[in-house]
Amino acid sequence: MRDNSWESKADEFSLYGFTDLPSVHERGTVVVTHGKGPYIYDTHGRQYLDANSGLWNMVAGFDHPGLIKAAQDQYARFPGYHAFFGRMSDQTVMLSEKLVEVSPFASGKVFYTNSGSEANDTMVKILWFLHGAEGKPQKRKILTRINSYHGVTAVSASMTGKPYNSVFGLPLPGFLHLGCPHYWRFGRPGETEEQFTARLAAELEATIITEGADTIAGFFAEPVMGAGGVIPPSKGYFQAVAPILKKYGIPLIADEVICGFGRTGATWGSETYDFMPDAIISSKNLTAGYFPMGAVILGPDLANRVQAASEAIEEFPHGFTASGHPVGCAIALKAIDVIMNEGLADNVKRLSGRMEAGLAQIAQNPNIGELRGVGYMWALEAVADRATKTLFDGKLSVSERIANTCTDMGLICRPLGQSIVLCPPFILTEAQMDEMFDKLDKALRKVFAEVA
């Protein structure tokens, strides 16, 4: 029955992303009005500690004065422009220089989008463009991994290794998904972690040989899988796959949309896991969530080859109206400064051990099978039986119940599969972390008592 509440209006006029509509009807939408530090507030004045940082991105919290001022100043100075036809804003020039400077690359080039999905799409198109220009138009297949998340556009959803995209008839042909490097879940009985990694590397090489290296455009990987349920790579994974990709001339693209700019405790996830990609996909933290923006950062080899290809073809026929938007770029310049020089990245480094220790305590609960993560991204996987790693019956919706119970207690965390994910803003203090532990622990105990 329609009434005049925010919740009813939200339901009547809006569609949600990734939302189970019956459950949201039952519980009511959380309509958010404002935020303060890591907290958000709804239309009823209720406060929630957002241990999801919005969607991983609001790493500086919800009211950072420096970021707000950067936006206001740039709106007053020059509120919008594009990056087409040999023109771009001064802010865009400065941001590209900064991104190459903070990247692991000695030199490079940056292309801007409005989102992480579009940045992955753009990277795929850059590879297709490049290989085509180099006389290999058949070098088009894209390799990713099962459980990876790369976005929602037709191409990035095809890259995403999740079964739910079948409702769209995706993936498109030519998008191949290799094994997920999650040892705890996919390691075989008696197999060591090193053997597991070697098996995945062998699978990659066998796929390249079967498909033909000359048909494969690139390999994309999140350093830590985020929306797949926070899955750090198995031991030595990138050290095993990178040389194989190099041997067959297949670019390695790090999708750092979540990991980039501090989430894993270093500027890049590829730094934390000690590998050198050929290009980086960035978004989310790039503007600390204060502007929709994505970026493709090409390392020297790809940048030089794309430059040569563009000169040969005369034009790189791609770009979004808001690519390199000056307000977004001004915010990103400030966000990078805030994350790297105002103690946010340091906070993650300083407190990630504390976060791990607190969650390890909670993970002693017999219905937690695995605690996994790094930096400020962690997951606790719920199990009906820890010894056999057996999951709860899906009909019990255990992780959703835990997340809903947390929400009722004023803590936002995210159910992913049967895991609960915690990826708080980088500004989280010790006291706020304790609040998170306390509420999470209570919610887990309550739900496990109901279902176990």
- List interacting residues with ligand PLP (CB under 6 A): 115-117, 120, 149-151, 222, 226-227, 255, 257-258, 283
- By beta-carbon proximity to ligand PLP, the closer residue of 229 and 326 is 229
Structure tokens that stand for 425 in this block: 């803003």
Nearest Cα to 229, choosing from 355, 17, 399, 115? Answer: 399
Nearer to ligand PLP, 141 or 150 (CB): 150
Tell the smallest beta-carbon distance from residue 252 to ligand PLP (Å).
15
For ligand PLP, the closer of residues 260 and 369 by Cβ is 260
**Minimum separation from the CB atom of position 440 to ligand PLP (A):** 22
Between 255 and 381, name the residue whose CB sits nearer to ligand PLP: 255
Nearer to ligand PLP, 151 or 299 (CB): 151
Q: Could you give the CA distance from residue 409 to residue 407 in angstroms, rounded to a whole number?
A: 5
Closest to 284 (Cα-Cα) out of 383, 377, 165:
377
Q: Which residues contact 173 (CB under 8 A, 6 or more apart)?
A: none
Distance in Å, CB of 185 to ligand PLP, minimum: 19
Helix axes 300-313, 116-133, angle to 10 degrees: 60
Residue 75 CB-half CA count within 13 A? 7
Residue 302 Cβ, how far from ligand PLP at the closest point, in Å? 18
**Residue with CB nearest ligand PLP?**
116
Question: In the complex, what is the shortest distance from the CB of residue 276 to ligand PLP, in angstroms, rounded to a whole number?
Answer: 19
Write down the least CB distance from residue 287 to ligand PLP, Å.
11
Judged by beta carbon, residue 149 or residue 261, the one nearer ligand PLP is 149
